[in-house]
């Protein structure tokens, strides 16, 4: 039998430790990165959330599914039987209503806090960065342990979106329930967790090694000729990799995904065979992620997932490029071999293009014992100008049982409310989650999430999926992902990436800017003009548009609208307008560098009508940001005003 030691956690909890594993649930799961490979002792990992039980998309809008039962004191949103730990609380709809946690059958809550304040750092027991907000979501990663039970209750008539992730442990696990009284040692423990999460973007390899172990540094300058394979690191005895760094990040940029990272342990088949950039959180060929454990910063790609091995390891780069690539690689490692109770590190790159109608996208489906520690997703709609596929829920099946069901795709990644200004509508990176980008005109968004204390542990099997529509998985998409996980034995999942031709980023040829909703407007007429967002019914359909009206001339000539137009590739584009034609519309023309391109479009019509695509001009554009200048150069003799009611701008790349 293993010897048993009892110690106290940073939140006043007593836990059982084995001398061999020195493992205990709680705050230490956050900052003890060296313990991340350890196989988990939990007997059940699950969540309680507000998802629509009918399979629809009412995942919190009405509040119908946002409680377990109604008590006289309020709405019970979770009722858990311990021993266990709540590891994550998330919502995009916090309120000033009081959130309560009641432990072990007690009638008086030990935690009473305004729901919003739980995430804002106002309560000393819930400090940032273990709590925080951004990209439309609010999250709390402070572990909340309970010995026998935990009831979570909201004193409010209505609750909307929420997710509560937890792990349950064997009945003889000596977990003590949450206490607001902490010893100096417990405060130090919590301080270490804060220090760790605040270190995102820096070298955190020291957290991934046992106490007192100093890493060795292996540095390599790699010159990869076309089609060549280069070795970055090789070890012929047991040890562990604590950190990887590759630079310059610019050398790994590209949409072809034609550089592969290959990591092998103990003479086995590769545990990692993944597009190099994507492994470090690139999105559509560009650096995007800046998380705690993997990402890119200041021109360097980094990874700090601990990778223990028993007898040896190798790290190689495989090039399918036609040009020579020069890379600098740094590997931090230590001669501390993998132990029997540690899993092996794996990373799986998958793509479904298109996704299957009626079936969710699968990140990972495998058998064996292990735990999921990270996901990165690049989601590309096949139809541009919309991202409604991101209404889909995440679903996690552990050991044959669906135990986790989320409330929406951005929700799974700690965000909320995609396509809403200052929420999920731009790249935002946090230590454990973030948005890799949101470009509605390309039908594109991406995200990542790391799992520390809330790792999804499984004993026999795991299936991790996410839907690609609000219901029925009926929006075809192009999804690609990287899944980071530990497994006791080699997983049954196929880790081989598809052929080179099937890995390349897909850039849409039709780029749709919904002007009435989100196309960036940089400037417009200085004088004698009005600009308004409007919506009205035309032919029984609601139409949203940007209504622009001028009179006379502006300071420098014709009235104008100047948009920022982001395009995925350089080339000649046909520029189309979709407008509301009517009796008060003028003539519009495209200008580049203050010169007219194409011929003016006369938008006059006797009655208001939404037009089809109207060809405005053909013009060259660069990859990235372009100026799109529209000028009102006159009006039809029958028109009553100088107007432009703009619905969409569509740029179609010509081959």
Within 8 A by CB and 6+ apart from 255, the residues are 284, 285, 504, 505, 507
Say what the pLDDT of residue 108 is. 97
Say what the pLDDT of residue 185 is. 79
Q: What is the 3-state secondary structure (H, E, C) of 331-349?
A: EEEECCCCCCCECEEEEEE
User: Which of 342, 377, 408 is the last residue before a domain boundary?
Assistant: 342
List C-alpha distances in Å: 257 to 188, 504, 534.
Answer: 44, 6, 43
Nearest 5°: the CA angle 283, 286, 289 is: 60
Question: 285 and 251 share a domain?
Answer: yes
Q: With beta carbons less than 8 A apart as the criterion, state whether 255 and 347 touch.
A: no
Q: The whole model's pTM is what?
A: 0.94
Phi, psi dihedral angles at 60 (to 5 degrees): 145, -10
Domain CATH number, residue 179 = 2.60.120.1390
Number of structural domains (the chain) is 4
Question: 415 and 533 share a domain?
Answer: no
11: number of Cβ within 10 Å: 23
**Mean pLDDT per 10-residue run, the chain (655 residues)?**
28 30 71 96 96 96 97 97 97 98 97 98 96 98 97 98 97 93 84 96 96 95 97 98 98 97 98 98 98 98 98 98 97 97 98 97 98 98 96 98 98 97 96 97 97 97 97 96 98 97 96 86 96 93 96 95 95 97 98 96 97 97 96 97 97 93
Question: 484 and 577 share a domain?
Answer: no
Length in residues, the chain: 655
Within 8 A by CB and 6+ apart from 599, the residues are 589, 617
Q: Which domain holds residue 456?
A: 343-506
Residue 299 in tokens:
């021109």
Residue 442 in tokens:
């390309």
Distance CA 275, CA 386 (A): 27
Say what the pLDDT of residue 10 is. 30
Say what the pLDDT of residue 188 is. 85
Question: 392 and 264 share a domain?
Answer: no
Nearest in space to 379 (alpha carbons), one of 478, 490, 463, 294: 478
Question: 307 and 173 share a domain?
Answer: no
Distance CA 434, CA 428 (A): 6
Say what the pLDDT of residue 24 is. 58
Say what the pLDDT of residue 16 is. 29
**Looking at the DSSP assignment, which residues form a beta bridge with residue 432?**
none
Residue with the two structure tokens 């399979």: 55
List C-alpha distances in Å: 536 to 473, 610, 645.
Answer: 30, 11, 12
Residue 458 in tokens:
């499984």
Question: 331 and 451 share a domain?
Answer: no
Question: 135 and 188 share a domain?
Answer: yes
Pairing of strands 300-303, 294-297: antiparallel
Question: 334 and 349 share a domain?
Answer: no
pLDDT in tens, 191-249: 999 999 999 999 999 999 999 999 999 999 999 999 999 999 999 999 999 999 999 99
Question: 93 and 27 share a domain?
Answer: yes
Domain CATH number, residue 550 = 2.60.120.260
Residue with the two structure tokens 């995430």: 119
Question: 100 and 176 share a domain?
Answer: yes
Distance CA 421, CA 390 (A): 16
Residue with the two structure tokens 């996690």: 396
Nearest in space to 37 (alpha carbons), one of 233, 232, 210, 197: 210
Question: 230 and 307 share a domain?
Answer: yes
- Which 8-state DSSP code applies to residue 110? S
Distance CA 235, CA 32 (A): 25
Residue with the two structure tokens 């600009």: 531
User: Which of 506, 526, 544 is the last residue before a domain boundary?
Assistant: 506
Cis, peptide link before residue 83, omega less than 30° from 0: yes
Distance CA 322, CA 328 (A): 19
User: Which of 506, 531, 560 is the last residue before a domain boundary?
Assistant: 506
Question: 181 and 221 share a domain?
Answer: no
DSSP character string of 448-505: EEE-STT-EEESSEEEEEE-SSSSTT-S-EEEEEEEEEEESS--SS--PPPPGGGTS-
For residue 275, how far is the Cα from the chain centroid?
18
């Amino acid at each position: 039998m293993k010897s048993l030691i009892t110690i106290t956690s940073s939140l006043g909890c007593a836990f059982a430790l084995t001398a061999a594993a020195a493992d205990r649930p709680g705050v230490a799961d956050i900052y003890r990165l060296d313990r991340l490979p350890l196989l988990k002792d939990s007997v059940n990992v699950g969540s309680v959330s507000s998802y629509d039980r009918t399979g629809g998309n009412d995942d919190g809008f009405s509040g119908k599914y946002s409680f377990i039962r109604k008590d006289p004191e309020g709405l019970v949103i979770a009722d858990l039987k311990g021993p266990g730990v709540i590891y994550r609380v998330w919502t995009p709809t916090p309120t000033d209503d009081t959130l309560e946690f009641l432990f072990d059958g007690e009638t008086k809550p030990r935690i009473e806090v305004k729901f919003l304040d739980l995430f804002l750092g106002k309560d000393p027991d819930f400090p940032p960065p273990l709590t925080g907000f951004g990209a439309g979501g609010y999250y709390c990663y402070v572990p909340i342990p309970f010995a026998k039970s935990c009831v979570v209750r909201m004193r409010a008539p209505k609750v909307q979106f929420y997710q509560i992730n937890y792990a349950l442990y064997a009945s003889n696990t000596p977990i003590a329930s949450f206490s607001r009284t902490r010893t100096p040692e417990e405060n130090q423990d919590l301080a270490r967790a804060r220090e760790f999460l605040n270190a995102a973007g820096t070298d955190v390899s020291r957290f991934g090694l046992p106490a007192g172990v100093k890493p060795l540094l292996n540095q390599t300058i790699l010159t990869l000729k076309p089609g060549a394979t280069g070795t970055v690191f090789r070890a012929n005895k047991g040890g562990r990799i604590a950190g990887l760094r590759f630079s310059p990040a610019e050398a790994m940029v590209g949409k072809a995904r034609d550089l592969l990272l290959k990591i092998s342990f103990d003479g086995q088949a590769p545990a990692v065979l993944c597009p190099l950039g994507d492994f470090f959180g690139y999105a559509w060929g560009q650096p995007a992620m800046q998380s705690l454990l993997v990402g890119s910063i200041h021109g360097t790609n980094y990874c700090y997932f601990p990778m223990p091995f028993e007898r040896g390891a190798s790290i190689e780069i495989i090039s399918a490029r036609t040009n020579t690539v020069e890379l600098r690689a740094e590997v931090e490692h230590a001669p501390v071999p993998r132990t029997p109770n540690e899993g092996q590190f794996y990373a799986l790159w998958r793509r479904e293009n298109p996704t299957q109608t009626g079936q969710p996208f699968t990140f990972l489906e495998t058998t064996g014992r292990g735990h999921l520690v990270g996901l990165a997703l690049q989601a590309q709609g096949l139809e541009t100008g919309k991202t409604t596929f991101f209404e889909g829920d995440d679903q996690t099946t552990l050991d044959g049982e669906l135990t986790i069901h989320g409330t929406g795709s951005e929700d799974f990644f700690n965000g909320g409310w995609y396509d809403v200004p200052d929420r999920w509508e731009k790249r935002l990176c946090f230590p454990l989650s973030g948005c890799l980008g949101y470009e509605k005109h390309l039908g594109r968004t991406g995200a990542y999430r790391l799992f520390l204390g809330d790792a999804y542990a499984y004993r026999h099997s795991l299936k991790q999926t996410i839907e690609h529509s609000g219901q029925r998985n009926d929006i075809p998409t192009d999804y690609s992902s990287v899944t980071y996980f530990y497994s006791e034995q080699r997983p049954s999942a196929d880790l081989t990436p598809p052929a080179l031709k099937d890995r390349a980023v897909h850039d849409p040829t039709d780029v749709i800017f919904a002007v009435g909703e989100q196309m960036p407007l940089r400037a417009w007429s200085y004088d004698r003009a009005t600009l308004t967002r409007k919506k009205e019914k035309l032919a029984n359909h609601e139409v949203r548009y940007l209504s622009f009206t001028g009179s006379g001339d502006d300071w420098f000539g014709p009235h104008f609208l100047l948009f920022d137009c982001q395009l995925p590739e350089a080339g000649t584009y046909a520029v189309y307008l979709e407008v509301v034609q009517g009796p008060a519309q003028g003539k519009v023309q495209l200008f580049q560098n203050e010169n007219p391109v194409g011929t003016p479009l006369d938008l006059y019509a006797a009655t208001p009508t939404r037009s089809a695509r109207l060809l405005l001009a053909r013009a060259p554009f660069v990859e990235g940001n372009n100026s799109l200048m529209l000028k009102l150069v006159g009006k039809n003799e029958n028109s009553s005003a100088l107007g432009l009611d703009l619905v969409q701008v569509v740029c179609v790349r010509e081959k």
